Amino acid sequence: MGNAVSLPYKDRFFELRFESIGGLGAHVGGQLLAKAAVLRMGLNGAHFSSYGSEKKGSPVKSFIRLGPPGKLIRTSAPVETPDVVVVFHRALLADPATTAGLRAGGTLIFTGPPDEVPDGLARLPRTAKIIRIDAQRIAAEENSRPNAVLIGTLAQAVPFFDGDILLHALNDQFSHKHPDVAAGNAAAFCRGMAEFELLPGAGQADGDVPVIRSDPLWGYETAPPGGIILNAGSTAWNDLSTSRTGWLPVLDADKCIHCGMCDMVCPDLCLVWHAEDNQPVPAATKLVGVDYRYCKGCLRCIETCPTSAMTREPETPGLAAQLNKPLFPQLVS
């Protein structure tokens, strides 16, 4: 390793925070970035993530702290005032905590389709660099993950990151376990470097974004009596839409033979069956589609379908709402 790269600050660490949802690769992306900084860029680095149950759909935060070689990193506190925030799913921007603490001269990278400017951007500093990249679409097209695309964008957005170094780190991370995905990851990374858009004028505020420290919802003074769970994760109100990573299962009714194989493998029972008029149930029930509210996009139904009636389609904005067949029509407002 030659000389270490130069960080922009001498008196403090350079800090990044990845805001994500389980299944989009934020934890692995943060690990990869910190490893590349330590092993290939001569820096000191630390990385850790915070998440709840380890499954698709849970909120994930991943923290990376970088320092020059002579400055030891002795803190493992969450990054509260990041230089860079990377948002892996655009739905997260609705929550002010996602961009909380971003420094006035910092950088926000978020995934979102072209032309869509989420409301939450106005509360960002006017001096911040705001970048949009359609990471989910690119990842889906390249058979990769959003983390590969977003690390490519980071390589362009942060001056001391080197694209070649990060691409090598990405290849090394996956080449042993998943050599089949290396080409897709490299393509996704390169598109992340090339296809992002700067959004000048999107931030409207002055100074750093205020830090938000959220208190636990329930403490000893506020917990409901008897250990009652007021918001169970398994109710009919649960919504798994944000777990999907760019793909939707779509039913072609003309090809469906109503065999039920897809329903047997669907882990969330989100396929919708209707009885034909004047026919006894269940003998003549037919598959009519998917309730996308409960579909986490695992695509097992597609792998199982014997007639290719269920196919994988890119999830464009509004497509799920357009094709949705509600399991519980009484819940639809």
From the list 140, 310, 315, 320, which residue makes contact with ligand SF4 (rule: CB under 6 A)? 310
- Using CB atoms within 10 Å of the CB of residue 207, give its burial: 0 to 12 exposed, 13 to 18 middle, 19+ buried: exposed
- Using CB under 6 A as the binding rule, whether residue 309 contacts ligand SF4 is answered as yes
From the list 79, 102, 209, 305, which residue makes contact with ligand SF4 (rule: CB under 6 A)? 305
Residues 6 or more apart from 272 whose CB is under 8 A from it?
287, 288, 289, 290, 291, 325, 326, 327
| Dihedral, CA of residue 250, residue 256, residue 261 and residue 263, to nearest 10 | 50
Minimum Å gap between C-beta 239 and ligand SF4 is 13
Minimum Å gap between C-beta 175 and ligand SF4 is 28
Q: What whole-number distance in Å separates Cα of residue 80 and Cα of residue 15?
A: 9
- Using CB under 6 A as the binding rule, whether residue 297 contacts ligand SF4 is answered as yes
Minimum Å gap between C-beta 279 and ligand SF4 is 17
Minimum Å gap between C-beta 297 and ligand SF4 is 5
From the list 34, 47, 296, 315, which residue makes contact with ligand SF4 (rule: CB under 6 A)? 296
Using CB under 6 A as the binding rule, the residues of this chain from 37 to 96 that contact ligand SF4 are none
From the list 38, 104, 288, 299, which residue makes contact with ligand SF4 (rule: CB under 6 A)? 299
Could you check whether the bond before residue 282 is cis, i.e. omega within 30 degrees of 0?
Answer: yes
Helix (H) or strand (E) holding 110: strand 107-111
Using CB under 6 A as the binding rule, the residues of this chain from 212 to 271 that contact ligand SF4 are 249, 251, 256-262, 265-268, 270-271
Minimum Å gap between C-beta 194 and ligand SF4 is 30
- Using CB under 6 A as the binding rule, whether residue 320 contacts ligand SF4 is answered as no
Query: Which part of the chain contacts ligand SF4 (CB under 6 A), choosing from 66-74, 123-131, 180-188, 292-300?
Result: 292-300
Site mask for ligand SF4 (CB under 6 A), range 94-123, x = bound: ------------------------------
Q: What whole-number distance in Å separates Cα of residue 68 and Cα of residue 41?
A: 10
Query: Helices (H) and strands (E) in the chain — how many of each?
Result: 8, 11
From the list 161, 295, 315, 320, which residue makes contact with ligand SF4 (rule: CB under 6 A)? 295
Find, among 67, 109, 49, the residue nearest to 84 by Cα: 109
Number of residues in contact with ligand SF4, rule: CB under 6 A? 29
Please state the three-class secondary structure of 257-301 as a single string.
CCCCHHHHHCCCCCEEEEECCCCCCCCCEEEEEECCCCCCCCCHH
DSSP label at residue 3 = S
Q: Cβ(152)–Cβ(189) under 8 Å?
A: yes
Residues in the site for ligand SF4, rule: CB under 6 A? Answer: 249, 251, 256-262, 265-268, 270-271, 287, 290, 295-301, 304-305, 307, 309-310
